[in-house]
Amino acid sequence: MKQLIECVPNFSEGRDLNIIRQITDAIESVDGIKLLNVDPGKATNRTVVTLVGEPGAVIEAAFRGIKKASEIIDMSKHSGEHPRMGATDVCPLIPISGISMEETIPYAHKLAERVGKELSIPVYLYEAAQKDPKRKNLSVIRAGEYEGFFKKIKEPEWKPDFGPDVFSPKAGATVIGARDFLVAYNVNLNTTSVRRANSVAFDVRENGRKVKNEKGEEIIQPGTCKSVKAIGWFIEEYGVAQVSMNLTNISITPVHIAFDECVNSAHKRGMRVTGSELVGLMPLKALTDAGKYFLEKQNRSSGVSEAELIRIAVKSMGLDELGPFKPEERVIEYLLQNSSNSRLVNMSLKAFADETASESPAPGGGSIAAYLGALGVSLATMVANLSSHKKGWDERWEEFSVWAEKGQKLKAELVALVDEDTLAFNGIMDAFGLPKGSEEEKAARNRAIQEATKNAINVPLKVMNAAFASFEIIKAMAVDGNPNSVSDAGVGALCARSAVIGAFLNVKINASGLNDKEYIDEVMKKGEKIMAESIKMEAAIIEIVNEKIK
């Protein structure tokens, strides 16, 4: 698996688009990185940039961005609502895939050392890259901000990890580290009072607030949300106060829980939450989990499409209050996905039929089998959702919601296999097109053909497994689902059976080109068993459907 890390440098300029563009141009001058998002804020006078790529390319791009920022940003003239201490205020590295946190830390050290040595900028390490527990927390390092650092940097305990112990009036200092994925998230209040916004922030943040106990001693009263840092501020650009939060571990406190805790606190204090704002990017799961959460609060099925879950999340948390919220620009998985790998599923129904009917050999039977399977489980999922919302069945909504969620997962898998099957066929064609002039080239070509052929067997085998798994949902809907939709469950069974048999035909035809006979025998036994069970399941479901229709 390719190693991918994300880098989210925060630059202390959010108003001058020319300066921002020069920095992002420097970042994009590095081959092998993808600039995912540039999010400037006028009131904070700060731009959050998100890039991703292999580690070496990412730290080179980050270095070039930090270098350019130090050249064109003058911190002595900077002001803004957000705490800051340098032209590049903070630059975290985040492991995304194929790389651990332990493997990411040395890259943070390498970048920090280079910035300190080549740019003469004081650099502090933070989070996982920092060994000293007293200096791990960003807010502790940044305390005193730019104005206070001329004195702070001279204190022995605040000697920089890299670079000079002289504070640069123009570039300031920079904090570089390695951390888990962080969501920067602001909740909007119907007030202009920073003090009242802070009261909500203190209610929800993990560190809470200082209070006096019955003895008059100062103690910390924890907030309601672990792994959440928060402050209140006023954003002149929007004319509202916000609770500005960093969610440092969304598996502990998800975005929707932080939002609802702000809602509860604001209500108790006579205020209303009017919406919220995402700064930078978030993982897809954060949005889909939020959508499920708000649907379940309404006792409604959460087994709806990914797009619908996102729409519910956006509307429930008011993510579009301050401006349009475009998931394709804000969800990290959407920005990383390769659209060429989803060419077929992004077609209209007519275009897909036209492409299938053309003289091109792909998409062929394997892709059609996968789509049949997706349609079959989609019908069962529809019945589950209709049953969940059926009048008089209110006490059963959760039961059908569970079935619908299972259906959505299988649907997503089968839809992806539509393109995957065609890509597998193309892989075989590419392998046959390799050069064969020398013995070495012939051997390499043969290996590539065998590997591609094995993949072309495994993909329809995945279709068989997924389509067969859908029978459990289809049968449950035929037996217990909304009786007015029982015929839909029947059609779903017909689709699932055809998907299994059609995919098995592709397994068999591709197996003829594989030399590994032991593997072929194993696959054939599995395939024959799945096909036989599918024929039985379809017959049983059709019998149930016909009995109910009578």
Q: Are residues 273 and 417 both part of a single domain?
A: no
Counting the structural domains of the chain, the total is: 3
List the structure tokens of 312. 């519910």
Give yes or no: 354 in active site: no
For 371, the 3-state DSSP assignment is helix
Q: Are residues 358 and 376 both part of a single domain?
A: yes
Q: Are residues 239 and 289 both part of a single domain?
A: yes
- Kindly give the pairing relationship between strand 88-97 and strand 174-178: parallel
CA distances from 530 to 474, 494, 509 (A): 16, 15, 17
Q: Are residues 307 and 417 both part of a single domain?
A: no
Q: Are residues 65 and 134 both part of a single domain?
A: yes
Q: Are residues 107 and 201 both part of a single domain?
A: no
Q: What is the mean pLDDT of the chain?
A: 94
| Res. 533 pLDDT band, cuts 50 70 90 | very high
Q: Are residues 30 and 71 both part of a single domain?
A: yes
Give yes or no: 256 in active site: no
CATH code at 228?
3.30.70.670
* pTM recorded for the entire structure: 0.78
pLDDT reported for residue 283: 86
Q: Are residues 224 and 156 both part of a single domain?
A: no
Residue where a domain terminates, one of 178, 203, 238: 178
Q: Are residues 173 and 193 both part of a single domain?
A: no
For 362, the 3-state DSSP assignment is coil
Q: Which residues pair with 395 in a beta bridge?
A: none
Domain carrying residue 437: 339-549
**402: number of CA atoms within 13 Å, CB side?**
5
Sign (positive or negative) of CA dihedral 157, 163, 169, 170 = negative
List the structure tokens of 313. 């999340």
Among residues 39, 82, 161, 419, the one annotated as catalytic is 82
DSSP letter string, 535-548: HHHHHHHHHHHHHH
| Res. 491 pLDDT band, cuts 50 70 90 | very high
Residues 13-24, mean pLDDT to the nearest whole number: 95
Q: Are residues 329 and 453 both part of a single domain?
A: no
Taking only the tens place, the pLDDT of each residue in 51-79 is 999 999 999 999 999 999 999 999 999 98
Among residues 161, 260, 419, 421, the one annotated as catalytic is 421
Q: Are 22 and 324 in contact (CB under 8 A)?
A: no
Taking only the tens place, the pLDDT of each residue in 456-466 is 999 999 999 99
- Kindly give the pairing relationship between strand 174-178 and strand 123-127: parallel
The amino acid sitting at 539 is A
Residue where a domain terminates, one of 178, 208, 233: 178
Q: Are 188 and 238 in contact (CB under 8 A)?
A: yes
Q: Are residues 373 and 515 both part of a single domain?
A: yes
d(CA 142, CA 74): 18
End-to-end C-alpha distance for the chain, whole angstroms: 55
Residue where a domain terminates, one of 129, 158, 178: 178
Peptide bond into 156 cis (omega under 30): no
Q: Are residues 387 and 442 both part of a single domain?
A: yes
For 469, the 3-state DSSP assignment is helix
Taking only the tens place, the pLDDT of each residue in 76-108 is 999 888 889 999 999 999 998 788 999 999 999
**188: number of CA atoms within 13 Å, CB side?**
20
CATH code at 443?
1.20.120.680
